[in-house]
Structure 1
Amino acid sequence: MATGAQAGMEEAKAFLDKEIGPLSTLDRAAQEAEMQWFIDAAKPFAGMQINVVSETITTHEYESKVLAPAFTAITGIKLTHDLIGEGDVVEKLQTQMQSGENVYDAYVNDSDLIGTHWRYKQARSLTEWMAGAGKDVTNPNLDVDDFIGKSFTTAPDGQMYQLPDQQFANLYWFRYDWFNDEKNKADFKAKYGYDLGVPVNWSAYEDIAEFFTGREIDGKKVYGHMDYGKKDPSLGWRFTDAWLSMAGNGDKGIPNGLPVDEWGIRVDESSRPVGSCVARGGDTNGPASVYAIQKYLDWIKAYAPPAAQGMTFSESGPVPSQGEVAQQMFTYTAFTADFVKPGLPVVNEDETPKWRFAPSPHGVYWKDGMKLGYQDAGSWTLLKSTPDDRAKAAWLYAQFVTSKTVDVKKSHVGLTFIRQSTLDDKSFTERAPKLGGLIEFYRSPARLQWSPTGTNVPDYPKLAQLWWQAIGDASSGAKTAQEAMDSLCAEQEKVMARLEKAGVQGDIGPKLAEEHDLVWWNNYAKEHGSIAPQLKIENEKDQPQTVNYDELVKSWQK
C-alpha cells in the first residue's frame, strides 16, 4: 500500500499528465520536484479543512474547480475555494478585520486595498512571514521577483502585504477591420483632416466616436463608443479604476501619482492622507476630474447605444463583441476569453479577432510620466487573526495556484497574467495572433503605466462605496459634474476626519491639511516640483492625434 507521500506523488504525476503537460515554464523533472516540495511541506497539515475565498472570474473558477481538488489530492489538505461577488469578498474581509474572528483562512482580494492593509496592520506582512513564521512553508522556487505586480502589493514601508494571483488591465479596444477599411479611412481623412488610427488623446477619440456613430456597416447602424451608466456599485469601479488618471488628474509617478494620486487624494511626506478636495491640496474636485466626468457624460449620451445608460458593468461588458461598436476607451482584458469565441461577429473564420487592444488615449490634463490606466491585481492576503497553522496551510495553496508548474496553463485559461516568465513563454508567442494585442501589450514597456489603486487611499472599502453614489448623481442628471465631485471629495474627507479622530491608523493615518484656494495649492505644487491640482485649461479640445496600430506594435518590439 502506498504511503501518504507516495500516494501524493502518484496524484501529482497524474495531475501533471492530465492537466499541465507541456504548458509550464518548468520541465517535467522540475515540475515533479516542485510537487514533491509541496507534499513534504504539507505533511503537518494533512487532513485539515482549509477555506479560502475569491471573486468569481474565469481564473478563479479554474482554481476552484480544477486546482483546489488537485491540491487536496496531492497534499492531503482539504481545501475549499469559495467563489462569491467582489463586493462580498470585501465584506467578509471587513467582518474578519473588525471582529477578529477567522472567517476565511486566506483571501484573494484586490491590491487596491494595499493602503488599507498597510495602515490597519491586520494583514500579515508577507516579507516578514516568508522570512520568519512562514519560512518552512515558503516555496524556495516561488521567485517573488518574477511577479509583474510586485510593486502594487508593496507598501511605503517596503514590505509586501499581498501576493498577486491574477491581473488584468483596462485597455482601449477597437475594430481593427473597420479602421483599416479604405472607404472609412478616406471618409475620415476628408472630414477631420488627419488619419484614422488608434487615438493618442481624447480629442481624437471623440472625433472617431462621432465619425462612426450612425454609420452603416454590414447592414447595421453602429456606434462610436460604449460605456455604462446605471447607479450601481459597479459604477464606482468605472471611475476608481483610474478614469481620472487617464484625464490627467493627480501627479506624475509610477505606479501611482505622488503626492496626489489618481483618486485625487494628497499625502504628506510621511504618506499620511491630508485631503481630497482642492481646498486641502487634493484633486478629486479639481478641473481635471470635472473634465473627466463631463467627457464620460457627454460621450455616453452622444455616441453609445441608448441602452448603455441603464446598464451595469457586467451587462455592458459583452456588448462590443456583438459587432455594433467601433471602439471602447475602457475594456477590461478579463473579458478577452469572451471576445475570441468562434462564431462571434467580431471573430474571423480562421479564429483571429477583427478587433485589437491598444493603450488608452489620454485627456488634455495628462502629462508624460503619469499613469495611464488601471490594472486589477487580485492578490492573496493572510490576516493576522487567522491562526498560524491555518495560515500556513492556506499559504501553501496560494503558492500552488501561482507556482511556475501551473501558471502557464492557468494563464491560458484565464488570460490574467502575473509572471514575466509566463508572458515570455513560447506558447503565448504562438497564441498571440488570436488575442488581439493582449500579449504584445503585456510584453511592452507601455504596461508599466497601468496600475491598481495605490497606497494614498487609507480605507478602500469605506471610500470606494462613496464613488458610485456621487457619480450616479451626475449620470442621472441630478447633479452637474462639478457638484458631484464637490460632494464626493467632501464625503471622502469626512471619512478621513473620522479616521484621524479615532487614531486607529496611528502616525500613518489621515491628518487633514489647512484649507486654501486652487491658485494657492497650484503654486504650492509648482514650488515643490509637482503638478496637482492643475488650473483649468480654457480650451479642453486639444489637437487630435492618432497612431497606426501596426507601427505602434513594431515600436514596442524594438
Structure 2
Amino acid sequence: MRLGILGTVATVALLAGGAALAQDASAIDEIIAEMQPSVLSEAEQRAELEWFMEAAKPFAGMEIKVVSETITTHEYESKTLAPLFSKLTGIRVTHDLIGEGDVVEKLQTQMQSGQNIYDAYINDSDLIGTHWRYQQVRNLTDWMAGEGKDVTLPTLAVDDFIGTSFTTGPDGKLYQLPDQQFANLYWFRYDWFNDEKNKADFQAKYGYELGVPDNWSAYEDIAEFFTGRDLSHMGVSGPVYGHMDYGKKDPSLGWRFTDAWMSMAGMGDKGEPNGLPVDEWGIRVDENSRPVGSCVARGGATNSPAAVYGVEKYVDWLKNYAPPSAAGMVFGEAGPVPAQGQIAQQIFWYTAFTADMVKDGLPVVNEDGTPKWRMAPSPHGAYWEEGMKVGYQDAGSWTLMKSTPEDRAKAAWLYAQFTVSKTVDLKKSHTGLTFIRESTINDPSFTDRAVKLGGLVEFYRSPARVRWSPTGTNVPDYPKLAQLWWQNIGDASSGAKSAQEALDALCAAQEQVLSRLERAGVQGDIGPKLNPEEDPSVWLERPGAPKPKLENEKPQAVTVNYDELVKSWQQ
C-alpha cells in the first residue's frame, strides 16, 4: 500500500513537472513572438529566456513590487513585460506607475525609515550624488560580482549600455542600470521653417535666415515672428504661437529648471557631463567633491546674474509667446500641445514625447506618416561658452536599496534585467523610443524607421547623445533639494517675486539643507562643507562661475540650416 502511495505521488510529481515544462516552453514561445524585432536570433533569445527561467527557480511563487514614473516605456513594462516575466519565472511582479515626484518621495521614505517599500526602483540617475554619498543603495559593480552573481544575466553586456557614465559615482562604481533615456532638445515645425513666404518675411524683418536657432537671441526672434502670424497660406487656421512651455507651481516646474535650463543659459562652469566646480544647479564643490555653496557669496551661482537671466527669459517667453493656458499647465499637460498644430517651436522639449507626436492623423504628421516637425540641439543662452554642458538627458535607472532583503532584491534584479535584456530591448525601444543600448540604436529596423522620427535616430547615433547629461554628483541630496526649486521658481513664474528675489530665496534654502547635512555628518568626508560668506563681488571678479552681468544679454542672433546640421551629426 505504501509503495502504491509513493508511486502515485511520484506519478503526480512527474506529471506536474511535465506540465510546468510545457508551461515554461509556452511562455518562452509567447515572449519570443512578442519580442520582435530583436537584435538576437530566435535561438539566442530562447537561450537567454531559458537562463531567466532557471535562475528564477529559487524565487518561484514570490511576489515582488517595483515602481517607476508613468511614461510610455514604463507602461509597456508594467502592462506587457511584467506579466510575461511572471509567466516565465513564477515570480509575481507588481510594477506600479506613479508620478516622478512620488517615486522620489517613496525612495526618500525608504532611505529614512529603512522599511522596504519597493523591491526595486526605476529612479532618475539625477540621484547619483545622493546614492554615492549616502551609500544606501547596492552598488551594482560589487553586487554583480558578489551576492548577485548567481542572478546576473551572463549576456547582460553592460558595455552595450550608452548611459552608464551617468550612473557611475566618482568612486568608479555603477550604482544604477539605465532602463530608459530621453534627451531635452529643441522641437520645431520643419514645414513652417521651410515655407518660402515665411522665410522671405523673416529675412525682411530680422535680416538673417530663418533656421534652427543656435542661441537664445534667435529663438526669441523666431518666437516673436510666429506668435499671432497668419499661416492661412499653409492651410493653418486659428491662433499660432512661437513658443510652448508650462508654468504651474508644481514639482514638474522644478525639473523645468534643474534639468539643465541654467546650464543652457550659461550659469555654470565649463566641463562635461556637468560643470565643475559649479554645476547647473549653481552648487559649487571643492577638489574633494564636497558641496561648499549655492549663493554667490559662497562661490555658488544659483542667484547669479546668469541665473537671473535664465529665469527672466523663461518668464518673458511664457507670458509673451506661449498660449495663455500654458501658465496654468504642468509638464504632462503641456507635453502634447505642440502635436495639436498651433506651435512653431519649443526650446525645452523632451524626446519622451516622440511616440505621441508621430501618430497617424495628427496635424503635425503628413499623410505618408512622416513628421512635419524635427528635433535639433538646444540653443544656448548669452552666458554660455564652448565647453559648457549643452543640455539635459533623463536616464531612468534600476536601483536596488540595501534595505531590501537579499532574496527580494535578487528576484527584482532578475525582472530588472529582463526589461533591459537584448531579447526585449529592441521591441521596447520601438514602443517607447527611449534608447539605452548601442545595439538597439544601430539596428537596421531603426534605420528604416528613422525618416518618421524627426531626427531622434540621427541624434542617438551621433556623439551628441552623451553630451546631453543628467544631474551630476554636485547635488548631495536630490529629494531634499529638488523640492526647493519648484516652490521658489513658482514665485517668479506667478509674478509673486522677481527672478532675483526668487533665486536669492532658493540659494539660501539650498544652503540651509547643505548646512544641516554638514552638521549631521551623515555623508562623511564627501558631504557638504560650506565656504564662509564673502562679498559677492569677490567671487564675481574671479574666473569662471559665478559670472558678472553682461552688458548685452542679447548678442547677435545665429541660426543654422537643419539639414546641414543632421549631416554634421552623421559625420
After TM superposition, list the pairs within 5 Å mapping 1:176-215 onto structure 2: 176-215=190-229
- Are 1:102 and 1:385, in contact at CA under 8 Å, matched by a contact in 2? yes
Q: Does residue 534 in structure 1 map to residue 550 in structure 2?
A: no
Partners of 2:239 and 2:82 in 1: CA distance: 46
1:389 to 407, 413, 419: 407
What is the CA deviation profile of residues 325-378 of structure 1, one whole-angstrom value per residue up to 9, with x for unaligned ones? Answer: 100001111111111111111111111110000001000111111111111111
Partners of 1:454 and 1:167 in 2: CA distance: 15
What is the CA deviation profile of residues 188-215 of structure 1, one whole-angstrom value per residue up to 9, with x for unaligned ones? Answer: 1111111100000000001111111110
2:351 to 307, 310, 333: 333
1:411 to 404, 412, 429: 429
SS at match of 2:55: helix
Task: State the shift of 1:219 in Å.
Answer: 2.9
Task: State the shift of 1:316 in Å.
Answer: 1.1
Partner of 1:159: 173
SS at match of 2:65: strand
Q: Does residue 14 in structure 1 map to residue 27 in structure 2?
A: no
Partners of 2:367 and 2:332 in 1: CA distance: 27
Task: State the shift of 1:523 in Å.
Answer: 4.7
SS at match of 1:208: helix
Partner of 1:436: 454
- Are 2:56 and 2:411, in contact at CA under 8 Å, matched by a contact in 1? yes
Q: Does residue 544 in structure 1 map to residue 557 in structure 2?
A: yes
Shift of the 515–347 alpha-carbon distance from structure 1 to 2, 3 Å rule, reads same
1:146 to 119, 143, 160: 160
Partners of 1:88 and 1:448 in 2: CA distance: 28
- Are 2:277 and 2:286, in contact at CA under 8 Å, matched by a contact in 1? yes
Partner of 1:296: 314
After TM superposition, list the pairs within 5 Å mapping 1:157-556 onto structure 2: 157-217=171-231, 218-524=236-542, 526=543, 531-556=544-569
Decide which moves more: 470-479 or 213-222: 213-222
Partners of 1:83 and 1:26 in 2: CA distance: 29
- Are 1:5 and 1:40, in contact at CA under 8 Å, matched by a contact in 2? no
Task: State the shift of 1:535 in Å.
Answer: 1.4
What is the CA deviation profile of residues 470-496 of structure 1, one whole-angstrom value per residue up to 9, with x for unaligned ones? Answer: 111111111111111111000000000
- Are 1:370 and 1:449, in contact at CA under 8 Å, matched by a contact in 2? no
Partners of 2:21 and 2:106 in 1: CA distance: 35
Task: State the shift of 1:92 in Å.
Answer: 1.4
- Are 1:176 and 1:354, in contact at CA under 8 Å, matched by a contact in 2? yes
What is the CA deviation profile of residues 36-71 of structure 1, one whole-angstrom value per residue up to 9, with x for unaligned ones? Answer: 111111111111111111111111111111111111
Q: TM-score of the superposition, structure 1-length normalised?
A: 0.97
Task: State the shift of 1:449 in Å.
Answer: 2.0
The letter of the residue matching 2:29 is K
SS at match of 2:147: coil
Partner of 1:73: 87
- Are 1:288 and 1:536, in contact at CA under 8 Å, matched by a contact in 2? yes
Q: Does residue 97 in structure 1 map to residue 111 in structure 2?
A: yes
Partners of 2:22 and 2:269 in 1: CA distance: 56
The letter of the residue matching 2:568 is S
Shift of the 5–99 alpha-carbon distance from structure 1 to 2, 3 Å rule, reads farther
SS at match of 2:175: coil
What is the CA deviation profile of residues 429-477 of structure 1, one whole-angstrom value per residue up to 9, with x for unaligned ones? Answer: 1111111111111111222221111111111111000111111111111
The letter of the residue matching 2:154 is P
What is the CA deviation profile of residues 368-401 of structure 1, one whole-angstrom value per residue up to 9, with x for unaligned ones? Answer: 1111111111110100011111101100000000
Q: Does residue 42 in structure 1 map to residue 56 in structure 2?
A: yes
Runs of 5+ in structure 2 lacking a partner? 1-14
Partners of 1:40 and 1:253 in 2: CA distance: 46
Partners of 2:472 and 2:422 in 1: CA distance: 27
Partners of 2:54 and 2:388 in 1: CA distance: 46
The letter of the residue matching 1:488 is L
Partners of 2:74 and 2:495 in 1: CA distance: 37
The letter of the residue matching 1:20 is M
Task: State the shift of 1:518 in Å.
Answer: 3.6
Task: State the shift of 1:114 in Å.
Answer: 0.8
Runs of 5+ in structure 1 lacking a partner? none
The letter of the residue matching 1:106 is A
Partners of 1:95 and 1:470 in 2: CA distance: 23
Task: State the shift of 1:4 in Å.
Answer: 4.0
Partner of 2:6: none
Partners of 2:81 and 2:21 in 1: CA distance: 19
SS at match of 1:239: helix
Task: State the shift of 1:220 in Å.
Answer: 2.6
Q: TM-score of the superposition, structure 2-length normalised?
A: 0.95
Decide which moves more: 439-448 or 238-247: 439-448
- Are 1:407 and 1:422, in contact at CA under 8 Å, matched by a contact in 2? yes
RMSD: 1.1
Partners of 1:522 and 1:491 in 2: CA distance: 21
Bigger Cα Rg: 2
- Are 1:280 and 1:513, in contact at CA under 8 Å, matched by a contact in 2? yes
Task: State the shift of 1:7 in Å.
Answer: 3.3
The letter of the residue matching 1:114 is I
